[in-house]
Chains A and B, each alone.
Chain A
């Protein structure tokens, strides 16, 4: 079975499908045991079960098709810990012919629509006010249940309002944007407000040198609370200054309903927030020679404090719209004086970025607060300059937030991104999920090391948690502020020390994803997967290798390392592992590079690694720290397919010769009489060969006699539009002719098989670079792979 088909069923990609039973053997695999898990993979057939899952009383695993069931005694045996659990009364009618969906062998994934209070151990750890959840009654559309929830007096101040409480959105708007930008932004915001569900809560924060929080409940005039942009405020201070802290004191008093006006249901404050948004105006007075004073850090801190103060723990977003770098206060990234430039990679490398460390530290604190309160931080940056995305990446990523780097709020890109975010599903609910967590349950011999992706470790240890930590580790439960159907987390595993498993016996891994829909309904999706242990040198190991998944995993590991160490060291590490990998799985005669072969299962892997080395994730030479942060953030959350596009872009050739065909990502694919469609995830380039371009300029496409040329021109455009439409954030679409300046977007990614140094210059296309081409790389790899292990030399190998 094809790996990707399997993914369509399980939502999982395994780097290795068959796991060796011994630890040393696992280590020799080079590529770690890992699973790329897309928890909310849209399945064509997903059973939704309107009841609570049945948990094993010992390991909390959910009843699944792999459990053994004794229909007579109404007992099921946990497939993970082998504990016998009795079925509850609701399962009384269970028998061989009447089994619940979760036991259907084909339903490796089921979703539970939680009806009664999910006051399980899992939930109680995640949700601060579990008592409030007990109000949930209904199990269908949980709309009414939510109203019961809010009415249960959990301390939410609009409890008396009676309306169901939806997710909360706090818009954090940069008041330093230019008037035109601000107008465009305001237009979009107003549009967004109209599209919000009525029960959604909204808040508005505007910042420049000061941070202004709008009081939307005040009708006499516009009212804002002003925070100083240079003061680092603790969460408690923010709450106190917003007047939100008294709630705790007033809880005792029966009638004390603290009235705050900063977060209000759209239905009640639509006019006010519209007025407030209209009221935002560009802050005047920028000192000549200075950047505008932006207190982005405090603004975010205040917005988070506001949500904390209002005890919104059930899902909320802080959406930051900015058009420049923070220049004052905590989180500042550059002095407002223009004579200081914004940090570059070189500055970071040399330690000249004086604000980088403190700002990153500040935002790390923010990210803890975000995850504690299930708040998502989104960054919409539309600026020609850097805005500090590198510093902001941590909270954005860990909360699962959205990041967009654009050039203008007037751009289509921004509009699409924002609108996409507020898309609704068929039921009219926002396609947005909140307050999610993923729990991993494993067979006893499998230990979980950690996860890489937009998630945060909840530091919950149990027997299945390994001491070895990779990424967010030390836990079997992770928290995600939000997730989408594409969000993909890489989980890493290892084998337990005391391995008792028999080869060819099965092991199980269960992913329990709990999340909240935008209508606040709670769901739990349970995916259970089984694989087999294999013995030493089993061929199943090689045949179970998913090189695409492995490349994605390695890419995540690489960028994870790159966050902490220098890119060169990471590249060295990549080379080392690749050589090890090649030595291990290559088929060769010792010391004879020409004899080196790799089976098809492995053959693409070196190529992926080659392009990964050259990619913007590793080679930051041409990127700003902001861009790099953005790229890495995207790589760290997309699934296998998209990750590979990012690492090794796709290239299609359109010609008169036939339908579009994929061609090698090589400079030699460029030809005057073809159109190339290049997709690197972030960029989509349509590259017209010089002849095609010439014909187009001559207007042949408008000539009815050249219908086919017209079609040829249209085809890649249609395909490109399709690519662009499906993807968020919207990639930048570049149309260019051969030899034009814009063609650099393509050339930079192509394998430089022909360079200025090449001997055979046949007049086609060359790339001016000193980078080694893929062929050279492979040659070196072969040479090194067949050698005896001499790592020090191997490392040198590729740095020529």
Chain B
């Protein structure tokens, strides 16, 4: 399904259900011509049949997306189509392309692309003041294309709509599908190519690639296009290749500026790939701040390394700093001078960026982590797998320290690809295993240089020259590459998977073992947590991987541990109680872990009866530690996943805990001083246990469904060490949290994952790994052991120099993950990233990756929290921000006015994020201990794309959805609003989400009909605490549901929905997310900028 373009070269790895992956992606409105019509499991709207021929429809999601939040599964009201946009689409498309078979042949990818030339033709927004300097070959119409100006588009659309295959009709389609870049040929292409050029291309195209052309365009080719203004996208679209392949053929292309500015208003961070233009996507008109232009040029072309590119500054200040940046004039005396509209803000866009990882043998800086992008692996691995804080590596440690930035990688080896991306190719070297450098053991990759007619190769990590294995030998072509380089994935792709040979196995690959451990103590039973867990497990059973290798086990516990014999022959389940919680053991030979196929029925019956069985349980004690240990002993032989549902503070048996939070409170004087100690595990017991678990490949996931303090700081050690994670439901409500519990569990078992993994990151000479951080167990310094790893886990790898690097060379990083798939195959996933080295400080700032940098700052702060007073951690975060900005101000900015705060374009949001970080749960002093512990824990393995929303959530207005429907139909999710209370009106309804929680705020004077439509209530007073989103039969409600579902999909999280109203604690909580506001304990955004500015100034003097 993810292979829109028809058959792909590599064989899809069997373990990765392409559907699964594809379906997990967020915005899937990608054109997928060949997409199979999968059944509509996820609750997404069934797509009109007529659209399918189009291939334009972004069906990906519709399929049985195993992904986390399949709304449909949720018992509650029917969920709306997941991709509402589609619904609007079909009409337009109907007439279009009757058959959309993708062309069989695809032009070669990007290889032949000419180097970028010009500077960015910057902003396209009509409103934007400065015209782009870059003289793009772009025709005038472009800038004024309907796409660019959001508002104008709809009319066009509507006007053209009727004209079924007229180009205009297309435009609307474009707006939706364009952004998501279908790699597929049939798919909708990139809008990037200038329209005029595309025309010729089209004309010539048909002959060569008749199939790629969409019928819709086919008939009214040029004229129609030109009339649209920017019909181009469609054309380039026919295949993802065209833009690139065409480049050579189509002159217009080559002429296209490398730094083609994204269409105005498109993502703030325009993708670096020049050719890749994002189309339309978001309505630019919505953007509130004027200087959007800057945002679009974030990425300077990767081009000539070292060559500093002068870019025009679009900031208010007239100065021309050498680097794109934003400066604001900030009065030293007050903020009166500050125009709130000037200050840098996060912008969002749902348009899709097409990203080639390397271009012209140069590393391409990746698009922002939070953006929606499609990667074409052209040598470097996708940024989903490895992101570096700086996309050029400083040659010396001095340069790095001058910049005050940190050098680190965020590695997410099993990250979910975009469904339209090519799946990772699997390479089997047979018995001998993959080719590796014999000295440093790094794996073969595109940057190994073959010499001597291919008989030897030079390792790009250690520089050692190796003999090419005889059966791997191949002659070199005239370009010095091996002739078979393009056929061999390991020589042309940044990420490949090798089938592991025997030498990578100490034993047979382990089966997929899922062991469920449920708290049935009095509290858990009475709050409904047990019932919720049982029901969730029961539903999830059907989602477990099929096959004889899937084994399950189940146990419950209160002050004793109850195992269950699930053997088929037994007429009824047999409960085996292990009473000794001090010196625990597991019932041997009792069929406690059984093949799923053998016990499915028993399991279901059992899960149904557990809540009633313990209905009258009066045992309040919970032997968590012992239960986990006992379950571990049962799993010891195989390893596997242990999913624990815990509801109260473990009070008995090994690893029992005390309510030290309360102790801390009662002893305030000591409590204040030692508060952070409560965030540390109370002792080593659980840690020791966890290390043992990890050794036997047992991964523990903890679902905490509680009403009280459970000492997450201590408990979380177990998941953290074993590669698991903590899910926290506080205060647990059986009514509203059951669905989330189920969805979390479902995603937990269904997401792409691997077992018994070992990961190592290798670096080129001169750089070495300083430290890994994340959820894993480390026994030897170089490797991390991951009993389990899944697509949501990220590991931060901080780097350090141990030597100087040569300017002009590249520095490579390779992450090798040896793991066992859920289907029992041993694989090595190798991702290689090669980045240029630089001696120029300005290059560092230009190529800084904001999201990654901030993720590192966040994770480091989280690590620091337990080790010192909070104020210190907060200061460190602010200082990190100040130091970077100071370095930039001092060494790179040329503005002389001291009254200006000059921010490097790439990092202009750093102060905002840092401020948000200071106000986040983890660094706030007023939070509950458990909330902070959980936050720290949540952050630890958090993937980069989720870091930003965590601290700076997305807020959208719901009450206006109806009105904007026409304007916004290209995107499900409306533009977000800055997190400032001044944007919140009393008659509005707002939705705010951070990837975990989703708050819906209802103002006091919301129109009654809005309330009625959204919540089925007539006044604000009727709002209850326990909120369940239901879908009513009206457009507004459908829209809201669509949005929520879309967010769930994007975040791979079901979100805890809470309804907040002004005036009570829920409203307070909502406003606590308004990070730009001034609060009793924190500065407002503007104040914070001033604070930073002053600090920098004081440093300057």
A residues whose Cβ falls under 8 Å from a Cβ of B: 208-210, 212, 215, 218, 220-228, 231, 237, 240-243, 279, 281, 283-285, 293
28 contacts across the A-B interface (CB closer than 8 A)? A208-B588, A210-B585, A210-B587, A210-B588, A210-B589, A210-B590, A215-B577, A220-B609, A220-B613, A221-B572, A221-B575, A221-B613, A222-B570, A222-B574, A223-B577, A225-B560, A225-B576, A225-B578, A225-B579, A226-B563, A226-B576, A226-B585, A228-B580, A231-B580, A241-B579, A241-B580, A243-B560, A279-B574
The residue in chain B whose Cβ has the minimal distance to the Cβ of A292 is B589
Q: Which residues of A contact B574 (CB under 8 A)?
A: 221-224, 279
Q: Which residues of A contact B609 (CB under 8 A)?
A: 220-221
- Complex contact A285–B583 (CB within 8 A): no
B437, chain A: closest CB distance, angstroms: 44
- Complex contact A243–B579 (CB within 8 A): yes
Q: A221-B574, A223-B562, A228-B583 are in contact. List 10 more A-B contacts (CB 8 A).
A: A210-B587, A210-B588, A215-B577, A221-B606, A223-B575, A225-B577, A226-B587, A226-B590, A231-B585, A240-B579
Q: Which residues of B contact A241 (CB under 8 A)?
A: 579-580
- Complex contact A284–B589 (CB within 8 A): yes
B573 at the interface (CB under 8 A from A): yes
B residues whose Cβ falls under 8 Å from a Cβ of A: 560, 562-563, 569-570, 572-580, 583, 585, 587-590, 606, 609, 612-613
Q: Contacts A209-B588, A231-B583, A283-B589 given: A226-B578 contact, CB under 8 Å?
A: yes
Q: Number of residue pairs across A and B with beta carbons under 8 Å?
A: 71
- Complex contact A209–B589 (CB within 8 A): yes
The residue in chain B whose Cβ has the minimal distance to the Cβ of A237 is B580
Q: Which residues of A contact B606 (CB under 8 A)?
A: 221
B726, chain A: closest CB distance, angstroms: 30
A357, chain B: closest CB distance, angstroms: 25
The residue in chain A whose Cβ has the minimal distance to the Cβ of B619 is A243
Give the distance in Å from the alpha carbon of A228 to the alpha carbon of B578 in the complex. 9
Give the distance in Å from the alpha carbon of A279 to the alpha carbon of B591 in the complex. 14
- Complex contact A222–B573 (CB within 8 A): yes
Q: Which residues of A contact B585 (CB under 8 A)?
A: 210, 226, 228, 231
Q: Which residues of A contact B579 (CB under 8 A)?
A: 225-227, 240-243
Q: Which residues of B contact A225 (CB under 8 A)?
A: 560, 576-579
The residue in chain A whose Cβ has the minimal distance to the Cβ of B581 is A241
B546, chain A: closest CB distance, angstroms: 26
Give the distance in Å from the alpha carbon of A415 to the alpha carbon of B696 in the complex. 48
A226, chain B: closest CB distance, angstroms: 5
Give the distance in Å from the alpha carbon of A92 to the alpha carbon of B580 in the complex. 62
Give the distance in Å from the alpha carbon of A227 to the alpha carbon of B577 in the complex. 8
Give the distance in Å from the alpha carbon of A241 to the alpha carbon of B578 in the complex. 8
- Complex contact A220–B589 (CB within 8 A): no
Q: Which residues of B contact A293 (CB under 8 A)?
A: 588
The residue in chain B whose Cβ has the minimal distance to the Cβ of A243 is B579
Give the distance in Å from the alpha carbon of A279 to the alpha carbon of B613 in the complex. 20
Q: Which residues of A contact B562 (CB under 8 A)?
A: 223
Q: Contacts A225-B579, A231-B583 given: A285-B573 contact, CB under 8 Å?
A: no
- Complex contact A224–B570 (CB within 8 A): no
Give the distance in Å from the alpha carbon of A376 to the alpha carbon of B588 in the complex. 29
Q: Which residues of A contact B576 (CB under 8 A)?
A: 212, 224-226
The residue in chain A whose Cβ has the minimal distance to the Cβ of B574 is A222
The residue in chain A whose Cβ has the minimal distance to the Cβ of B591 is A284
- Complex contact A285–B577 (CB within 8 A): no
Q: Which residues of B contact A220 (CB under 8 A)?
A: 609, 612-613
Give the distance in Å from the alpha carbon of A577 to the alpha carbon of B508 in the complex. 72
The 3 closest A-B pairs by CB, nearest first: A241-B579, A223-B575, A228-B585
B309, chain A: closest CB distance, angstroms: 71
- Complex contact B580–A285 (CB within 8 A): no
A332, chain B: closest CB distance, angstroms: 16
Q: Which residues of B contact A283 (CB under 8 A)?
A: 589
Q: Which residues of B contact A279 (CB under 8 A)?
A: 570, 574
Q: Which residues of A contact B569 (CB under 8 A)?
A: 281
Give the distance in Å from the alpha carbon of A155 to the alpha carbon of B560 in the complex. 24
> B575 touches which one: A208, A209, A224 (CB < 8 A)?
A224
Q: Which residues of B contact A281 (CB under 8 A)?
A: 569
- Complex contact A222–B589 (CB within 8 A): no
Give the distance in Å from the alpha carbon of A241 to the alpha carbon of B583 in the complex. 11
Q: Which residues of B contact A285 (CB under 8 A)?
A: 589
Give the distance in Å from the alpha carbon of A224 to the alpha carbon of B577 in the complex. 6
- Complex contact A222–B575 (CB within 8 A): yes
Q: Which residues of B contact A210 (CB under 8 A)?
A: 585, 587-590
> B580 touches which one: A212, A215, A222, A227 (CB < 8 A)?
A227
The residue in chain B whose Cβ has the minimal distance to the Cβ of A286 is B589
B298, chain A: closest CB distance, angstroms: 62
Q: Which residues of B contact A227 (CB under 8 A)?
A: 579-580
Q: Which residues of B contact A221 (CB under 8 A)?
A: 572-575, 606, 609, 613
Give the distance in Å from the alpha carbon of A284 to the alpha carbon of B590 in the complex. 9
A74, chain B: closest CB distance, angstroms: 61
The residue in chain B whose Cβ has the minimal distance to the Cβ of A284 is B589
A713, chain B: closest CB distance, angstroms: 50
Give the distance in Å from the alpha carbon of A218 to the alpha carbon of B617 in the complex. 13
Q: Contacts A220-B612, A220-B613, A279-B570 given: A226-B589 contact, CB under 8 Å?
A: no
- Complex contact A222–B577 (CB within 8 A): no
Q: Which residues of B contact A240 (CB under 8 A)?
A: 579
Give the distance in Å from the alpha carbon of A231 to the alpha carbon of B588 in the complex. 14
B989, chain A: closest CB distance, angstroms: 47
Q: Which residues of B contact A231 (CB under 8 A)?
A: 580, 583, 585
Q: Which residues of B contact A215 (CB under 8 A)?
A: 577
Give the distance in Å from the alpha carbon of A176 to the alpha carbon of B1042 in the complex. 60
A314, chain B: closest CB distance, angstroms: 26
B440, chain A: closest CB distance, angstroms: 43
Q: Which residues of A contact B570 (CB under 8 A)?
A: 222, 279
The residue in chain B whose Cβ has the minimal distance to the Cβ of A281 is B569
Give the distance in Å from the alpha carbon of A210 to the alpha carbon of B592 in the complex. 13
A220, chain B: closest CB distance, angstroms: 4
Give the distance in Å from the alpha carbon of A776 to the alpha carbon of B560 in the complex. 70
Q: Which residues of A contact B613 (CB under 8 A)?
A: 220-221
Give the distance in Å from the alpha carbon of A293 to the alpha carbon of B572 in the complex. 26
Give the distance in Å from the alpha carbon of A224 to the alpha carbon of B564 in the complex. 10
Q: Which residues of A contact B572 (CB under 8 A)?
A: 221-222
Q: Which residues of B contact A222 (CB under 8 A)?
A: 570, 572-575
A280, chain B: closest CB distance, angstroms: 11
